[in-house]
Chains A and B, each alone.
Chain A
Amino acid sequence: MHRGEMGDNKRVIITYSYGPDGEEGGVGNQFAEELESRLPLRNIAWHNPLGAIRGSTNSTARIIGTLDVELKRYSPEMFPRAMPGTLYHSPYFLHLYLVTTDDSEVYKATTRKQIQEWLNVVANKKNQEWLIVYLINPDSKGKSARFLGVGASSVFDKIKSDFSFKKERCIRMKLQNDAKDAEAWTDLTNHLKEGITSSLNQQILQYDEDTRRIDQQRLMPGWNYCQYFIMKEGLAYTFEFMNLLEEALLQYDELEASFFQTLAEQGAPWFAKFGGSEPDDDSASILDLQRKRYRDMIMQNTISIFDFRVYLFARQCQLLFRLGRPVAICQRAKMFINQFSRTIHENEASIWPFFRQAWMYSACIQVIGHCDELVAVSTQQQDFMAMYDGVKVDLLQCARFQLDNLGAACGVYPNMSNTINSSAIGPENNAQNGDVKESLAKITNIELRSSLQSSEAFDELYLRITSRAIRSCQGSNRPRTRRILSGDLANLHFARSRYAEAAAVWEPIVGQDEPWPFLDDLFAEKLAQCWKMLKDSDRYLKSCLHLVTCSTISAQDRVEYYVDELVSTSSQVAQVLEVSGVSILKLKTLRFINTIEDDGRCTVTLNVQNLVKEELNFDEVIAKVISTDGIEYACQAQSITLDPGTKDIQLSGQRLTISGTYVVDHVTCRIGKLRLVYHNLGSFHVTGGAVPFSISAGLPDQSLSRDSSSMLQVDIVTGSAALKQGTLALSAPTLSFPFLKSVLHRKSSMEDDASHIKECTIDTAENRIVLPSIDSLERLSFQIPFQDLAKGMESEHRVKFSLTYTTADGISHVWHESKTLNTSTALAISHVIVHNATSPVIRYTLTGKRPNPMRILGLNVSASGAVDPVPLSDVANTVLYYHQEMPVICYLRSKELADVKSTTSAETTTKVQLEISYQDLDAEITNFFLSSLEKLLAGTPMIQFSGFLIRYVCETLVPLVDVAQYALTDVANLPPFVTETVGHMLRSEQTETIAKIEEFLNLFHDRLKTSSGNDVRKSQKLRPRRISYQVESPVPKVLLAVEIRRIDAPDASGHLMIGQPLKCQLIVSPQRWDHDATDLPCFCEISADPESWVFSGKRKRKAILTGKEPAIFPFTIIPIRTGYTLMPSVVVDAAHAKVAIIYHTNSLGLTVRAPSFTTKTVSFAT
């Protein structure tokens, strides 16, 4: 195909003519050349004269952008002989006559005559315009000037008067080869435009009248559509001349419509035959207007329907082509080809079989090829390209269907079900094989014929066309069509056993979220077969899985087949296939139980619904459980068979030690190497199981009162299980634990106390204390320093212990717990030392500092140096309450002289240490309950719950006991068992276990309803806690005795009279004097109660003591009050550390009496 056939050279012709005056000097030629250079004409305004009549959309002026005009030299012979109703359409629109002479004589002599001759021919032409151009020659400028313009104007005026018409058909042009020329030319072209449009409008009106006339005769006998067609086509041609392509197209559309109308009304008697029987009819270009002499045949009434329709369509396409509308061409082509193929089908009898398919194929391919050329040379928007691709797909698809049909007929197209064209196999298939071959041999499209020779060639063409269509689908955003076409493509590969190619096409299509399940099903099944053939088990497994879950598989045998395949393939595949959320199963977590037995496990009960109507055998089902801290646990079960329907399965795993919320994150069901993963199966609150050890912390067992360094003692006591290793971290909001490099620890066996106490260091890593291995029934203690952030404002601190440990069986666990610690000392101790002549006495005061009472178990006083302390109070087994003060008096006896000698040389001071062993009463009760529990459990099956029961005792039972009451009455009362108290701890437990535990606890509570203090104390195995208190008691070097002595002897009664002066002496006598110095200054101050005594003498004195003799200070006091009165007290202050003072008389008193009066009666006589 070449462009020529579509773009016929049809141009408006303007003729020009001039007389000998124009020839002179080539003025005429020059003018023609100049005019030609100003062509084509641009922007011609045109009003459709039919606009109003035909209801044209734009009644306003239309602008014809460019109009190609051909300029021809006039000759009278140039007009072909026109006959009415012929094919001739005059291209002549306008005739020009050029007059250049300015000599009126010449004009009169020759020019006028010539014009007349010219006019005789031209004016008679129908619907053609003429124009006389009077050219003022620039060379004759001077000449005309000489005549003052008279001569020049006279020629023009003469022409005007000679050939005067209503319309202005004479124009004057003055060319001076300067800027003004442009104006003159514009003027001329305007006249040309006017003339052309005028001619056009005349033609249009003429044609319109003619065609209307013929149209009106439509129902008259002898009317011929062809005649009508020719007439109307003339109008179309005229429009086309004028570049009014849309108007021209409209004419053809009207023609097409009227064709169908007349066909419906009258049939087609004027068409000789259907046609299509000529050679190459099936393959020749339907757009080639030159292929046959269509117009002649129409004129002669010999055209066939086939040729007529092809011609009409080709003309439409030609116009659309010139308009540059490939989309419209394709749309029309699609419509035309489909429509006309039906007509061919109806007239199949007159043509050879398969003509229709061959023709349709060729037509589609040709139109596409043609439009592709048009699109290739034009630059188009993306939207436009998408539209073009869209219509192209339709045509390509149509061509492909024809190819399918032909291929099927000659046996090169394999039987394929489930393609979009599966019904397109024509009925011709029934024809004899020989006939088919014969018919197919008639196909003249070389490409098509050769493709039908062999399946290879067929495939090549089929794939080429389909791929092209797929590409266009991509361009035009038609995903569905593309998918279907891809499916067809793969189907062909599949039918030809090219499984790899087929799979490559299907693979990207299948598995997308396809809302039309039937398509997915079709493709997926084929794809699965491909993988099977290709022995690609990994992908085959995926496909089987996909098919099993595909909703449209309803047939039981298919399900069975694919489930079997799934199971058998899952063991063969090389790689593990993990898919999540596949709708084979529906999982629901029913229960999540952390059993409370000592060797208990965590059990997850899943409700599994098998959605496949087939039994499934899973090798393993694993549930991953995640705690709130992000630690993962696994519960699993092996070999699970699931029948269709629902079933509960139990998975079990390692016991959870920490209470909290656990999420069943995902469940993996494994068949061979296929893993079906299901996510988000709910979260559950789980009570953590008891750990096989107990951990406690508090102030050290052995502590010093008034000890400023803060240490925390941590004890880990193992039960029956040993810990291989572990790490411990402590944290508290109110306490800070400084970073330690190592910690000294102490390990002791529980069974025989102090049997193997080892002390060694524990390393720390990342601020976690790395624990050594701990055997069963061992106690590990260590102390770590801490700082109280609250600075003693609070005594209770919440400390979180987090421990990771590995048990003997190698399983590592994590456990953490928060405990409240009391960091205040249990006891406050203070002391007073009282010296006397022989030996000093220490008076301790113990004060209870804890709300819970404690039992003082005993005390031990030890001293270093020359004293031997003898406790005078027996406090063993006394109970000390909160804020209660308890005195302990201790007499410090001097040691024997021999002992003294050995020690005094070394020590100058004596240290007295009070060690009090005590026990908290709640610890005592806890211990008692635990040992009772141990006894009760021994040998019973309930021992498996020991961990839980111990925890119950510690956390629930002990708080129930009133410790104060126990302390007062020495009887521990246990309230009866209430089910609710264990309810939350057993929340997730199985009912039979709950029943067992409740029964046991009932018994336990019953047994221990009341226990006497003796029972409690008897069972104690606890090491008592000890607190030490050290007093530094200096051995005084100087011991002074201070005494107030009365000098005057009292009266016989020993009483003192009020107002009777009492002479006294303050005697400070050194009792011991080991001092190196001989002089010791000291200050004495006597303080007498001023309400009781009148003091006379020096109250304050300074004395120098020499150590040899006592210092004596006399003073006098007079009692002023009766009754028992304390003697004045003395304070002696020796400014030396090693001086101790004994006051003998500071609390002495005496009784003061009123003086006894004797009454005498004297009478005076008056």
Chain B
Amino acid sequence: MSSNSYFVIVGTRDNPLYEADLGQPPPQPQQARVADGGGKKDEHKHLNQFIVHAALDVVEDLMWGTSAMYLKVVDKFNEWYISAYVTASGAKLMLLHDAANTDGIRNFFQDTHELYIKALLNPFTEINSPITSAHFDTKVRALARKWL
């Protein structure tokens, strides 16, 4: 299934560690807007961040009510779904997507979680520091192609 999605890993201090636009960027709002410095893509990224950021509130509500890591779809925003996955350490994997694909997303989250753990195993990685590894990025995108 191909879809547009935005993936972000949020650290335990509520800071984004890794962000990726997976697939094609979501449709642009048709209303023309005054561009002030940032391009349209930037603005769209903002929107995604807005949605995911607000959904973190819901995740924090839900994460204590279940022992499962995968919280499924936690919130909807217009035609967008937000799926979340909370790791044992409290890092949150958030995916903004436009098509329901529970199992695919579960697999994607599980594999990304493993990748994240591998990244953390690096002795030079500090917890809650942004993940800048290109290798990590490539792998995540490959997983997205595989599962989403």
Residues of A within 8 A of B (CB): 338, 342, 387, 390, 394, 401, 408, 415, 417-420, 422-425, 427, 429-430, 473, 476-481, 484, 515-516, 518-519, 522, 555, 557-558
Residue of A with least CB distance to B76: A338
Interface residue? B15 (CB, 8 A): yes
**Is B53 in contact with A519, judged by CB distance below 8 angstroms?**
yes
Residue of A with least CB distance to B77: A420
Residue of A with least CB distance to B36: A417
In whole angstroms, how far apart are the Cα atoms of A342 and B98 in the complex? 13
**Is A424 in contact with B54, judged by CB distance below 8 angstroms?**
no
In whole angstroms, how far apart are the Cα atoms of A756 and B60 in the complex? 88
**Is B43 in contact with A424, judged by CB distance below 8 angstroms?**
no
**Pair count A-B, CB < 8 A:** 80
Interface residue? B71 (CB, 8 A): no
Residue of B with least CB distance to A478: B57
**Is B34 in contact with A415, judged by CB distance below 8 angstroms?**
yes
CB distance from A605 to the nearest CB of B (A): 32
CB distance from A387 to the nearest CB of B (A): 8
CB distance from A613 to the nearest CB of B (A): 15
In whole angstroms, how far apart are the Cα atoms of A522 and B47 in the complex? 12
Set of chain B residues within 8 Å of A417, measured between Cβ atoms: 33-34, 36, 43
Complex partner residue of A415 from B14, B33, B78, CB under 8 angstroms:
B33
**Is B31 in contact with A425, judged by CB distance below 8 angstroms?**
yes
In whole angstroms, how far apart are the Cα atoms of A476 and B60 in the complex? 11
**Is A423 in contact with B47, judged by CB distance below 8 angstroms?**
yes
Set of chain B residues within 8 Å of A430, measured between Cβ atoms: 30
**Is A515 in contact with B14, judged by CB distance below 8 angstroms?**
yes
Most buried by A among B16, B26, B46, B57: B57
Complex partner residue of B47 from A422, A480, A555, CB under 8 angstroms:
A422
In whole angstroms, how far apart are the Cα atoms of A305 and B3 in the complex? 30
Set of chain A residues within 8 Å of B76, measured between Cβ atoms: 338
- B5-34 vs A, CB cutoff 8 Å, 1 = contact: the mask equals 000000101111000000000100111011
In whole angstroms, how far apart are the Cα atoms of A253 and B30 in the complex? 38
Interface residue? B119 (CB, 8 A): no
In whole angstroms, how far apart are the Cα atoms of A401 and B80 in the complex? 14
**Is B53 in contact with A516, judged by CB distance below 8 angstroms?**
yes
CB distance from B35 to the nearest CB of A (A): 9
CB distance from B2 to the nearest CB of A (A): 20
| CB-CB nearest 7 A-B residue pairs | A515-B15, A478-B57, A423-B29, A420-B50, A515-B14, A481-B54, A425-B31
Interface size range of chain B in the complex: 20 to 34
Complex partner residue of B29 from A420, A422, A480, A519, CB under 8 angstroms:
A422
User: Given that A425-B29, A425-B30, A484-B53 are known contacts, is A518 also in contact with B46, CB under 8 Å in the complex?
Assistant: yes
**Is B46 in contact with A522, judged by CB distance below 8 angstroms?**
yes
User: Given that A481-B57, A515-B13, A516-B53 are known contacts, is A415 also in contact with B31, CB under 8 Å in the complex?
Assistant: yes
Complex partner residue of A408 from B31, B36, B38, B45, CB under 8 angstroms:
B31
CB distance from A600 to the nearest CB of B (A): 45
CB distance from B113 to the nearest CB of A (A): 21
Set of chain A residues within 8 Å of B58, measured between Cβ atoms: 390, 478
Residue of A with least CB distance to B27: A423
In whole angstroms, how far apart are the Cα atoms of A164 and B94 in the complex? 71
In whole angstroms, how far apart are the Cα atoms of A420 and B30 in the complex? 16
**Contacts A/B (CB < 8 Å), 10 sampled:** A390-B57, A390-B58, A415-B31, A417-B34, A420-B51, A425-B29, A478-B54, A481-B57, A484-B54, A515-B14
Complex partner residue of B16 from A424, A484, A516, CB under 8 angstroms:
A516
In whole angstroms, how far apart are the Cα atoms of A619 and B78 in the complex? 53
Set of chain B residues within 8 Å of A555, measured between Cβ atoms: 37-38
Set of chain B residues within 8 Å of A424, measured between Cβ atoms: 78
Residue of A with least CB distance to B45: A518
Interface residue? B56 (CB, 8 A): yes
**Is A427 in contact with B16, judged by CB distance below 8 angstroms?**
no
In whole angstroms, how far apart are the Cα atoms of A1068 and B3 in the complex? 143
Most buried by B among A423, A481, A555: A423
Set of chain B residues within 8 Å of A419, measured between Cβ atoms: 50
Residue of A with least CB distance to B56: A480
Residues of B within 8 A of A (CB): 11, 13-16, 26, 29-31, 33-34, 36-38, 43, 45-47, 49-51, 53-54, 56-58, 60-61, 75-76, 78-79
**Is A516 in contact with B34, judged by CB distance below 8 angstroms?**
no
In whole angstroms, how far apart are the Cα atoms of A269 and B13 in the complex? 53
In whole angstroms, how far apart are the Cα atoms of A346 and B13 in the complex? 41
**Is B79 in contact with A557, judged by CB distance below 8 angstroms?**
no
**Is A390 in contact with B31, judged by CB distance below 8 angstroms?**
no
Set of chain B residues within 8 Å of A473, measured between Cβ atoms: 57
Set of chain B residues within 8 Å of A518, measured between Cβ atoms: 45-46, 49
In whole angstroms, how far apart are the Cα atoms of A516 and B16 in the complex? 7
Set of chain A residues within 8 Å of B30, measured between Cβ atoms: 425, 427, 429-430
Set of chain A residues within 8 Å of B16, measured between Cβ atoms: 515-516
Set of chain B residues within 8 Å of A408, measured between Cβ atoms: 31
Set of chain B residues within 8 Å of A477, measured between Cβ atoms: 57, 60-61
Known: A387-B61, A484-B53. 8 other contacts (CB 8 A): A390-B57, A422-B47, A423-B29, A430-B30, A478-B54, A481-B57, A515-B14, A515-B16
**Is A516 in contact with B14, judged by CB distance below 8 angstroms?**
yes
Complex partner residue of B37 from A422, A480, A519, A558, CB under 8 angstroms:
A558
In whole angstroms, how far apart are the Cα atoms of A162 and B34 in the complex? 93
In whole angstroms, how far apart are the Cα atoms of A518 and B48 in the complex? 11
Set of chain B residues within 8 Å of A557, measured between Cβ atoms: 37
User: Given that A479-B57, A480-B54, A516-B14 are known contacts, is A420 also in contact with B31, CB under 8 Å in the complex?
Assistant: no
Residue of A with least CB distance to B128: A515
Set of chain B residues within 8 Å of A418, measured between Cβ atoms: 43, 46
**Is A519 in contact with B49, judged by CB distance below 8 angstroms?**
yes
Set of chain B residues within 8 Å of A480, measured between Cβ atoms: 53-54, 56-57
Set of chain B residues within 8 Å of A422, measured between Cβ atoms: 29, 33, 43, 47
Set of chain A residues within 8 Å of B56, measured between Cβ atoms: 480
Set of chain B residues within 8 Å of A429, measured between Cβ atoms: 30-31
Set of chain A residues within 8 Å of B37, measured between Cβ atoms: 555, 557-558
In whole angstroms, how far apart are the Cα atoms of A519 and B79 in the complex? 23
CB distance from B141 to the nearest CB of A (A): 21
Set of chain B residues within 8 Å of A476, measured between Cβ atoms: 57, 61
Set of chain B residues within 8 Å of A420, measured between Cβ atoms: 47, 50-51, 54
In whole angstroms, how far apart are the Cα atoms of A408 and B32 in the complex? 12
Set of chain A residues within 8 Å of B34, measured between Cβ atoms: 415, 417
Set of chain B residues within 8 Å of A415, measured between Cβ atoms: 31, 33-34
In whole angstroms, how far apart are the Cα atoms of A429 and B45 in the complex? 23
In whole angstroms, how far apart are the Cα atoms of A430 and B31 in the complex? 9
CB distance from B31 to the nearest CB of A (A): 5
**Is A423 in contact with B78, judged by CB distance below 8 angstroms?**
yes
**Is B49 in contact with A516, judged by CB distance below 8 angstroms?**
yes
In whole angstroms, how far apart are the Cα atoms of A480 and B53 in the complex? 7
In whole angstroms, how far apart are the Cα atoms of A387 and B62 in the complex? 11
**Is B15 in contact with A516, judged by CB distance below 8 angstroms?**
yes
In whole angstroms, how far apart are the Cα atoms of A478 and B55 in the complex? 9
Set of chain B residues within 8 Å of A394, measured between Cβ atoms: 75
Set of chain A residues within 8 Å of B61, measured between Cβ atoms: 387, 390, 476-478
Set of chain A residues within 8 Å of B49, measured between Cβ atoms: 516, 518-519
In whole angstroms, how far apart are the Cα atoms of A522 and B38 in the complex? 11
Complex partner residue of A342 from B33, B75, B79, CB under 8 angstroms:
B79
Set of chain A residues within 8 Å of B50, measured between Cβ atoms: 419-420, 484, 519
In whole angstroms, how far apart are the Cα atoms of A820 and B34 in the complex? 81
In whole angstroms, how far apart are the Cα atoms of A338 and B58 in the complex? 17
CB distance from B134 to the nearest CB of A (A): 19
CB distance from B107 to the nearest CB of A (A): 25
CB distance from B19 to the nearest CB of A (A): 10
In whole angstroms, how far apart are the Cα atoms of A557 and B47 in the complex? 23
CB distance from A455 to the nearest CB of B (A): 17
In whole angstroms, how far apart are the Cα atoms of A423 and B15 in the complex? 24
In whole angstroms, how far apart are the Cα atoms of A429 and B31 in the complex? 8
Set of chain B residues within 8 Å of A423, measured between Cβ atoms: 26, 29, 47, 78
CB distance from A471 to the nearest CB of B (A): 15
Set of chain B residues within 8 Å of A338, measured between Cβ atoms: 76
Residue of A with least CB distance to B11: A515
In whole angstroms, how far apart are the Cα atoms of A904 and B56 in the complex? 116
